Structures are given as structure tokens and as C-alpha cells.
Structure 1
Amino acid sequence: MTIQATLCFILRDDKVLLLKKSKGLFGQDKWNAPGGKILPREDAEQCAVREVREETQLAIEDLEQTGILHFYKYDRRESPDWTVHVFLSRGFDGIPVSGREGQIKWFNVNSLPLEEMWEDDRYWSHLALQGRRFEGWFYYSGDFEKLVDCSVEEKPLASVKV
């Protein structure tokens, strides 16, 4: 069964807030946008709001969905292991605070720490940060250790299949 999750890029002027996951958590030592698994009886937008609050203490506003990402272990099953709904927020209330999920830090949108992020981020993160609509498919070896194939298409979000 596909795990449904979210990521939310939070913008402040020309900066984006990223989270470096703590040791022992999925994605440990990688910078990523705040986010996590969608809970039962929760939609993707509600999840993004909740996860950002839990991971940064921020209340986000002006939430805009920009993309859908599908992640597969390389056996190319018909359904992905993960489907991630990508959001962008240009407004928030509060002061970001690091917590048990990891360290948070503002980065310039034009100089992301791509060498310390998931390998697939270099193919789509610029689209999300520009508010462009896209869908991506990513195939990893092992337990999401190495990206072996990918495809990203810009498209109207309404045409994206979840």
C-alpha cells in the first residue's frame, strides 16, 4: 500500500526553511522541507499544516499545492511506495524553532544544500520553489539508497493522478 505524505516549502523573501532530520529518523542527516505522513481522516493540506507546526512551531498561511512525487523501490511496482504532496507557503505566523525532528535553517532559494538533500530534489525542488506545477516519478535502489531513474513533467495539478 502506498504511503501518502507531504512536504511544505516555507518562503520568506528569497529564503526557504529546511529541516535536517535527526539521527534515527527516515531521511536522517538530509535537509528537506518540513513534512510527514498523512494521518487517517486527514487530507494533504491538513497534514502539511500539522507537520509544519510540529516540526517548526510555525502556523503556515497561503498554502499552495505545487506538485506530486511518486517514489518507488526499483522493482517498478504498479503502485509507488510513497506519494508525496508538495506545498508552498509564502506566509506564516511565529518564529521557527528546531525540535526533536531536527535542525531548521533558512537557505537562499538559489543555493540549496543539494549535496545534503535527497538525490531527487535536484530534479524538482526548483519547480516547487517557483510555484510551478509538476509531477515526478523516482526509482531508487535498495531502501531508497541511490536514485537510478526519474522523470519529471510540468503539468496542471488537476491532471495529476494520486
Structure 2
Amino acid sequence: MTAAPVTLCFMLRDVDGLEHVLLGLKKTGFGLGKVVGIGGHVEPGESPVEAICREVAEETSIVVDPADLQHVGSVDFVFPARPGWDMFSTVFLCRKFMGEGVESLEISPRWYPVDQLPLDKMWADSSRWLPAFLSGRRGAWRVELNSDNETVASCTHTPLPAEAGPRE
């Protein structure tokens, strides 16, 4: 089975000299009850850039211009106990966008100071890669979960060169 292609976008903004990131409380489906990044599945015929622009709009009503996306890497999520959950996530940062973030059927968005991430309410692996991406560190992470599909069995990081773009 091949990992499902998905996208994540972390929108960043300055509030009184402190950087904030938009995350969302997942209200339905996979990750229900967890605070997650904004994003979702790449549909057939879509590029990761097209998918993340669509997902951000659907989940938050925020409009992102593809030219304003910064590709920072990927996270390959491996669920040995549930291979159907495996995902290959293309990750973007975005500092220029239109809108504030409106609650949708799927996500309740909220801005968090980057230095106060709600890691206790997120997937256990988030602490391994999210702070690195938010600090501008580029890379490809591979996260393998334990059989409980929650805790992390292993996490590896490979730095990416500055010119590496998203995997099609």
C-alpha cells in the first residue's frame, strides 16, 4: 500500500512582536479532538500546492496565493498497525494570506504563540518536527508510530537543500 499524499500549511503572523501560528482543533474524522495543522489530502490531478490552497480555504476560509507558500519539507507518517493510515505530508509555511481563520465543519482554527504550542493536545510526534519547521529548519522527517497508533516508535530527520521543492 502506498502512503496517501497530504499537505500541511502553517500560517505565521506577527502579533505585537511575537510570532503566532494558526492551528486547528479537529472536529471530525482522522485526528478528532486533536489540535492539528491546517491541510488535508491531495486529490487526483492536484499538485501539493493546489491541494494546500484548496484545503486552507475549505478549512479556514483563508485565501493563500501559491506564490506565497514556502515549501519547507515533508513528514512521512508510518502506522505499522494501520498501514491504511500511512501519509506522506508536504509541508509549507505561509506568512502572507487573506483572512483571519473562520471555523468550518472540520476545524476550529486558533492562533498560538510559536513558543507556546499546545503539544499536549497534538499528535505525540508533533514535538519532533513542528518546532523545527516553524523555526525555518528544512527537512524530511520519517515518523513511525507504535502499535497503539499514538506514541512514537522512531523519528528520523534528513536535511533538505534550499532548492528542494515539493514531491509531485
- Pairwise same-fold verdict (TM > 0.5): yes
| Superposed displacement of residue 153, structure 1 | 2.6
8 A Cα contact 2:90 2:167, kept in partner: no
Map of 1:11 onto structure 2: 12
> For residues 12-161 of structure 1, what are the structure 2 equivalents within 5 Å?
12-13=13-14, 14-22=19-27, 24-61=28-65, 62-74=68-80, 81-142=86-147, 144-156=149-161, 158=164
Residue 2, structure 1, aligned to residue 3, structure 2: yes
Unaligned runs of 5+ in 1: none
Q: How big is each residue's C-alpha offset from its partner over 1:5-50, in whole Å with a ceiling of 9 and x where there is no partner?
A: 000000111111101101x410111111110000000000111110
Deviation at 1:150, TM superposition (A): 1.1
Say if 1:151 and 1:91 are closer, same or farther in 2 by CA, change over 3 A: same
Contact map agreement 1:123 1:152 (CA 8 A) in 2: no
Instruction: Name the amino acid aligned to 2:52.
Output: A
Q: Matched residues in 2 for 1:95 and 1:81: separation?
A: 31
Q: Which has the higher strand share?
A: 1
What is the TM-score with the length of structure 2 in the denominator? 0.86
Distance 1:55 1:9 in 2: 13
Residues matched between the structures, number: 158
| 1:115 counterpart SS class | helix
Cα distance in 2 for partners of 1:38, 1:153 equals: 23
Gaps of 5+ in 2: none
User: SS where residue 91 of structure 1 aligns?
Assistant: coil
Deviation per CA, 1:71-112, whole angstroms, max 9, x where unpaired? Answer: 11237x8xx921000100001112310110121100001110
Report the TM-score when normalising by structure 1. Answer: 0.89
* Matched-pair identity in %: 35
Deviating above 6 A after TM superposition, structure 1's stretches of 4 or more consecutive aligned residues are: 159-162
Contact 1:135-1:160 at 8 Å conserved across structures: no
CA RMSD between the two structures? 2.1
Q: How far 1:159 sits from its partner (Å)? A: 8.7
